[in-house]
């Protein structure tokens, strides 16, 4: 049985052990004390089966000879988690925002500032970034304050009434955002060449072929296709070749993934159009 790449605890327990874990207390009030008996049972069920599941999955991994891959993947995840905790990385988050490539330089500088601001707010409030403000709202706000007419001269009113931006978000934060974006000392250099622009026609064809190769390899190995070669990984590999003239087998595509896919993907990506 091949488990899905993204799977809930409830589904995992049902598939491996045949046990249905009730989730009816998920949205109950967990701040109120004392906890109810149902809540206590619910919390206990969230850990009750972990040792059994660990044993089953460990046996499967060892039988397939994939233990070293798991250990390498775990180490890589720890490295990435540590890197993301460094504030110096936050200023690069704008590069991963969809449609950032549509903005001009002033818009990208604004987006870079807003992404750092959002990260700070998300951590202060212990909320997901999208709960603070969605990417599309940031893009629309940056488009407003970076137009040739408004660039460097936009007002608090422009920010407060930015079209296409959640009005509730603006009503709470417009003043702070205006102060942030209107201060020249907050602006940093940006690199448009690192943005996720749409792939060209030839690269889209190579992406399709690359996905076919990774999907077939994943099926042979009995693992999730997304685990072996997510679209995001493949796109980054294609872009590295387009940008640098060579494949950059780094990050998630280093190690065991490279060992499995390098020969076939290199042939596809480096082939002349």
CA distances to 71, 165, 194, 213, 238 from 208, rounded to whole Å, are 30, 35, 22, 9, 11
Q: Which band of pLDDT confidence, cut at 50, 70 and 90, is reported for residue 84?
A: confident
* Stretch 140-150: mean pLDDT: 79
Percent of the chain residues past pLDDT 90, beyond the cut: 64
CATH architecture of the domain formed by 86-194: Orthogonal Bundle (1.10)
What is the pLDDT at residue 148?
59
pLDDT digits (tens, 9 = 90+) for 1-53: 778 888 888 899 999 999 988 888 888 899 899 999 999 988 898 889 999 99
How far is 25 from 45, CA to CA, in rounded Å? 11
Classify domain 201-269 by CATH number. 1.10.150
**Sequence spans of domains, the chain:** 9-63, 86-194, 201-269
* Stretch 64-90: mean pLDDT: 91
pLDDT digits (tens, 9 = 90+) for 146-194: 875 555 578 899 999 999 999 999 999 999 999 999 888 888 899 998 8
Q: Do domains 86-194 and 201-269 have the same CATH topology?
A: yes
> Who wins on pLDDT, 99 or 194?
99
């Amino acid at each position: 049985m091949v488990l899905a790449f993204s799977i809930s605890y409830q589904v995992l327990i049902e598939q491996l052990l045949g046990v249905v874990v009730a989730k009816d207390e998920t949205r109950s009030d967990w701040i109120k004390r004392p906890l109810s008996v149902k809540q206590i049972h619910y919390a206990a069920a969230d850990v009750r089966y972990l040792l059994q599941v660990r044993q089953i999955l460990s046996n499967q991994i060892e039988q397939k000879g994939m233990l070293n891959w798991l250990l390498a993947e775990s180490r890589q995840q720890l490295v990435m988690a540590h890197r993301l905790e460094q504030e110096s990385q936050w200023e690069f988050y704008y590069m991963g925002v969809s449609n950032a490539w549509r903005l001009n330089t002033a818009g990208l500088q604004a987006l870079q500032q807003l992404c750092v601001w959002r990260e700070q707010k998300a951590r202060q409030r212990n909320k997901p970034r999208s709960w603070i403000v969605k990417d599309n709202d940031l893009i629309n706000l940056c488009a407003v304050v970076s137009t040739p007419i408004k660039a460097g001269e936009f007002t608090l009113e422009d920010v407060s009434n930015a079209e296409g931006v959640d009005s509730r978000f603006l009503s709470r934060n417009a003043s702070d955002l205006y102060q942030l974006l209107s201060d020249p000392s907050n602006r940093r250099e940006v690199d448009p060449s690192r943005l996720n622009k749409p792939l060209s026609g030839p690269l889209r064809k190579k992406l399709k072929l690359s996905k076919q190769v990774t999907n077939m390899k994943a099926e042979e190995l009995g693992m999730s296709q997304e685990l072996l070669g997510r679209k995001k990984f493949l796109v980054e590999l294609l872009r590295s070749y387009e940008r640098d003239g060579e494949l950059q087998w780094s990050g998630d595509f280093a190690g065991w993934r490279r060992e499995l896919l390098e020969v076939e993907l290199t042939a596809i990506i480096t082939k002349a159009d």
